[in-house]
Structure 1
């Protein structure tokens, strides 16, 4: 945790050096490090918040894994007496396969999806699991997160040129496919796919659709068919009419109060103001402030 302890010390130093009791801190050194790590963020072009989130989480995992490997290499250089005190240096020494490192990023953000495909001839179900840090959902006009999640898990028929190769039948067969959540994460991150490529226009267009995201969410489309309850605690809002320009602001719930973050401006807002970022009920509207990335926290995690 060397990297994070550094940033924590830096943050505390900046806070203590502030002349005012309250205020904001410009993340200049963080941005400098970010541009150094990834050339994608070195230009002055409008960047996508979802791409940044994916980069940040994966970069954090890489840093933690490298620190873990460095710590183990350091342990291998210890003297025999030090090894005895600190335990065995290599879990694989006895032929036991080492488990992959589970970081705090995995513990908080990672969930498991299962992709089920049912052969319509022999009824054999083939399941394949995959990990995820966020769910990207297609959206429709005047819909809700619940309906978007149902569409995400809806059954799709594979036929014609899309037939499924069934291992039991040893041939291509018609099949039904669906995606379900096998293991819900502690922090459920939902990305609303507001930018869609329009072939007629030859470019991406922002969908200003009204999508209702509730303060309390029940996740019912899981493998166990047991409801998982979540509470909304943060929203990233895209401000602007298109994908190549605009601005991002954030809503964050802290100590039972909602705060609105717009660069150096931070103000408290009423909880009811969250619904103003659902989107526009009409295709053409002057409102360009739309919820883009949603962060939900498991209520079960809070109880435990």
Structure 2
């Protein structure tokens, strides 16, 4: 990054955050999808803190996996003597390709699929670790074994609490799927967890309107009738999805790639979708009247179609906005973020569109 690095240092001058590092990532042919997401996660403060803390407390002999490779990469950045530069996330990318054949090809990959896979993989690794730790602890504290050498019988029917990892604490929210029978008015509610929200988009819309559509009421009738347990029959009903528990870090995925039946393929929607720097989740459920979020990262898809293109990311660090394009890191004005909203016209030369948005909760207001 050389000259560009010194340019960034010069631009920040005395305002360069103490202890912070701004490093670009080398691209191994088609790994911009990976680089852009990793930059967004690196500048997700609670995620970076927990990852580095886990790294410091983990066993030295732990086997290599995506978590250890990500810890190594983040530790490598934070321990750099230089403030700016370029790092090759080679070990992480090699591990990713070794574990998942989807990312082995040199085809254009989807940044959202990668983020989803990574977070779920980290959860799996942390849950396995927690189970091993729990087993070790129980072995040490368990009473003496039964005389014939067999293990003491387990109590049947005991409800085991799900393991909550630090990834869950940061990204997991709860949705409630409410269905109201229009005959007997009985409301059936089913909770489900989420690590990100995928929103349908429309031309000249906003994140607020997309969220309203996500939570809008839908009537189930004709062939889609709902089986009501109280009526013991299929009935017309109203269905609604609400956010019951908002996450600390809200990840929003804009569904910019839509399958068009007539074309027999996916098409990119370059719709203009306004994403505010400050977002309010109003009236999603009664307990959370106004949850406020602040935007700190945007993964941008550059290109006119789903099977080719490029990914870059914008991140907010210590009140400054930075633009990451693989090895290149530049400072940008906050006002430049709105150039990534999308196009208000179907055919436009602007193909840089916000694809994944990361918001941090500022709490209730």
- TM, length-normalised to structure 2: 0.75
- Identify if the C-alpha distance between structure 1 residues 300 and 79 changes in structure 2 by more than 3 Å, giving closer, same or farther: closer
Structure 2's unaligned 5+ residue stretches are: 1-53, 59-64, 144-151
- Identify if the C-alpha distance between structure 1 residues 165 and 32 changes in structure 2 by more than 3 Å, giving closer, same or farther: same
Alignment of 1:97-112 (within 5 A): 97-112=159-174
Contact 2:220 2:239 in 1 (8 A): yes
Secondary structure in 1 matching 2:304: coil
Give, in whole Å, the separation in 1 of the partners of 2:79 and 2:362. 34
Q: Quick check: 1:219 aligned with 2:290?
A: no
Give, in whole Å, the separation in 1 of the partners of 2:199 and 2:228. 28
- Identify if the C-alpha distance between structure 1 residues 193 and 14 changes in structure 2 by more than 3 Å, giving closer, same or farther: closer
Report the Cα offset of residue 258 of structure 1.
Answer: 0.6
Query: Which residue is equivalent to 2:182?
Result: 120
Question: Which of 41, 44, 54 pairs up with 2:116?
Answer: 54
The aligned length equals 292
> CA deviation digits over 1:93-152, x for unaligned, max 9?
798643211111110100010011111111111111100011111000000000000111
Give, in whole Å, the separation in 1 of the partners of 2:114 and 2:77. 24
Please give the root-mean-square deviation of Cα atoms over the aligned residues, in Å.
2.4
Report the Cα offset of residue 12 of structure 1.
Answer: 3.8
Give, in whole Å, the separation in 2 of the partners of 1:154 and 1:15. 44
Secondary structure in 1 matching 2:98: helix
Give, in whole Å, the separation in 2 of the partners of 1:147 and 1:78. 54
> CA deviation digits over 1:202-253, x for unaligned, max 9?
1000000000000000111412161111100100000000000011000110
Query: Which residue is equivalent to 1:247?
Result: 310
- Identify if the C-alpha distance between structure 1 residues 265 and 211 changes in structure 2 by more than 3 Å, giving closer, same or farther: same
Query: Which residue is equivalent to 1:299?
Result: 362
Query: Which residue is equivalent to 2:324?
Result: 261
Secondary structure in 2 matching 1:229: strand
Contact 1:180 1:223 in 2 (8 A): yes
Give, in whole Å, the separation in 1 of the partners of 2:303 and 2:128. 39
Secondary structure in 1 matching 2:242: strand
Contact 1:149 1:221 in 2 (8 A): no
- Identify if the C-alpha distance between structure 1 residues 17 and 104 changes in structure 2 by more than 3 Å, giving closer, same or farther: closer
Secondary structure in 1 matching 2:289: coil
- TM, length-normalised to structure 1: 0.89
Bigger RCO of structures 1 and 2 (CA < 8 A, at least 6 apart): 2
Secondary structure in 2 matching 1:274: helix
Secondary structure in 2 matching 1:148: helix
Structure 1's unaligned 5+ residue stretches are: 82-89
Report the Cα offset of residue 70 of structure 1.
Answer: 1.9
- Identify if the C-alpha distance between structure 1 residues 154 and 143 changes in structure 2 by more than 3 Å, giving closer, same or farther: same
Report the Cα offset of residue 74 of structure 1.
Answer: 2.9
Report the Cα offset of residue 78 of structure 1.
Answer: 3.4
- Identify if the C-alpha distance between structure 1 residues 21 and 158 changes in structure 2 by more than 3 Å, giving closer, same or farther: closer
Give, in whole Å, the separation in 1 of the partners of 2:158 and 2:299. 44
Question: Which of 85, 104, 112 pairs up with 1:42?
Answer: 104
Secondary structure in 1 matching 2:86: coil
Contact 1:182 1:223 in 2 (8 A): yes
Q: Which 4+ stretches in 1 moved above 2 angstroms?
A: 1-18, 72-81, 92-98
